[in-house]
Amino acid sequence: MYRRIKYFFTNNLYWKALSVLMAIVLWFVVMNINNPTEIKSFTLNISILHEEKLAENNLAILNIDELKAQKAEIKIKGTRTALDELNKRYNKENIKLTLDLEQILSYKIVDEPLEATINLKPTMPNVAYPNNNFEIVSFYPITSNIYIDKVITIPKKIHPKTIGETKSGYIASEPELSSEYIQVTGPKSIVDKIQVIYAEVDLTDETSTIKQNVKPVAYDKDGNKVTDVKFNIENVEIKVPISVEGFINIVEPTLVGQLPEGYIVEAISHSPKTVEVVGSTSNLKNLTKINLPNIDITGLTKSTQFTYDISSILKQHNLRLKNSSNNNIKINISIKEAATKSINIPTSKISILGYDDTFFIDMPEQVVLNVTGEENIINSLDETLLKCNIDVTNLTIGDHNVKVNVDLPEGVKFVSEPYINITISNKKENEQIETNEETKYIEEQSSQDTTEEEAKIIFDEITTETTSQTEQNSETQDEVTT
């Protein structure tokens, strides 16, 4: 069996191959002679005509992209040879289903987009081929719905926008734009959707001023990009100055002048004590602190707040505040009525500076200190807490009015500066005077004692005589009585 099959296919192989080839050729000849009629489908995109005329009349098709992407189908009937010729690339490209936009130029558009239905028209290429008769059997779609809107041009403000963060220790200033406004052209319904136009720049890890050309981008209220509009400028330049951050100390002001008698400064404070600024490194090094000006408190009898604007000082050093609300420094001075007290200081507790032991110093037993200040401090103050001294350096013999130096606690001052009257004398002369006075005192005491004894004797004599006289009188009276 196998040998017979093998013999059948291998015997006279040349003639068998030739027979098959002749059969194929004969089939083509017969088919070409008969040239049967067939129907063929062609798939294509819709062709849009006169789109430029819409722009000339300030009109726009809102669904133009959808129309251009829409697939159409045309069924063509013709002979096989004609359809084969039509299927060639350069002919196939000329099979079209056209949408002529010139039909809508007569439509009147007011404020809202207009919907219109336009008929589509198929067109065929002019194929020069014998017996090329063919006809369009059908096509789809037959019509297209289009949405027409008028084109407007209006100015819109460009807003600079930064994303990302600069490197730590650096801060970005307000961005600057080369153009603040841009002309937007597009269908009215789309232009009206624009909520904001941003020129965006990325600051991530930047340490120096940025200057870039960026494309403006339009967004609607939901944050979605708005396309299908045109801008009169393609790019806008955005500049973002980047500076170093730093801190400047605010130094407490000095108070000048005097409060009325009976008033004291309870406290002084200012806020803020430091401000955060931005600028170049060199400018920050040149200004590390700001000294607040002196404040005159003369005549003040109640707590008062002062304000000092530091922006001018910063401007002189090409610096600016990171937070502009901190440019005013507030200085609060708390004033209240002072408490007063008189303190008696024994002169034995007063140290004498510059004392010369050849002199003798005579002074009162005590000195009175009249002080004023915060009530809680004044009430706890007594002579044991005060260190006092007088300085007699270079003072000569005689009477002197000397200032008493006292270490007062903070918040306490004198109502009036204390002074003490002293007398300086020569120590030897003073000792001689004291000796003479003691001698005189002894003599006076002796004389006084003598006088007292004599008086006693006389008193005794008088007493004796009186007693004797009394006795005589008594005897005489007895005699008389007898």
* Digitized pLDDT (tens) for each residue of the chain, 482 residues in all: 666 666 666 666 676 677 778 877 776 666 565 567 788 888 888 888 888 888 888 888 999 889 888 899 999 888 777 777 777 766 777 888 999 988 888 777 777 888 888 899 998 876 554 445 678 899 999 999 999 999 999 999 999 999 998 888 888 888 999 999 999 999 999 999 999 999 999 999 888 889 999 999 999 999 999 988 999 999 999 999 888 888 899 999 999 998 888 888 888 999 999 998 888 888 888 888 999 999 999 999 899 999 999 988 988 888 888 877 778 999 999 988 888 888 999 988 899 998 877 888 899 999 999 888 888 888 888 888 889 999 999 888 899 999 999 988 887 888 889 999 999 888 766 555 555 555 565 566 655 555 555 556 655 655 555 455 545 444 434 443 33
Distance of alpha carbon 132 from alpha carbon 78, whole angstroms: 7
User: What pLDDT score does 36 carry?
Assistant: 74
Q: Write the DSSP symbol of residue 304.
A: E
Asked if residue 362 is part of any domain, the answer here is no
Indicate which CATH number applies to the domain containing 315. Answer: 2.170.120.40
Q: Which of 337, 361, 378 is the last residue of a domain?
A: 337
User: What pLDDT score does 156 carry?
Assistant: 95
User: What pLDDT score does 445 carry?
Assistant: 62
User: What pLDDT score does 207 carry?
Assistant: 85
Q: Are residues 93 and 53 in the same domain?
A: yes
Q: Are residues 189 and 258 in the same domain?
A: no
Q: Which of 285, 310, 337 is the last residue of a domain?
A: 337
Q: Are residues 169 and 262 in the same domain?
A: no
For residue 75, what are the domain limits? Answer: 35-141
Q: Are residues 133 and 42 in the same domain?
A: yes
User: What pLDDT score does 254 carry?
Assistant: 92
Asked if residue 228 is part of any domain, the answer here is yes
Q: Which of 99, 121, 141 is the last residue of a domain?
A: 141
Asked if residue 394 is part of any domain, the answer here is no
Q: Are residues 64 and 133 in the same domain?
A: yes
Length of the chain: 482
pTM value surpassing 0.85? no
What total of structural domains would you count in the chain? Answer: 3
Q: Are residues 67 and 84 in the same domain?
A: yes
Asked if residue 299 is part of any domain, the answer here is yes
Q: Are residues 97 and 161 in the same domain?
A: no
Distance of alpha carbon 81 from alpha carbon 36, whole angstroms: 9
Asked if residue 8 is part of any domain, the answer here is no
Which DSSP helix (H) or strand (E) runs through 481?
A: helix 427-481
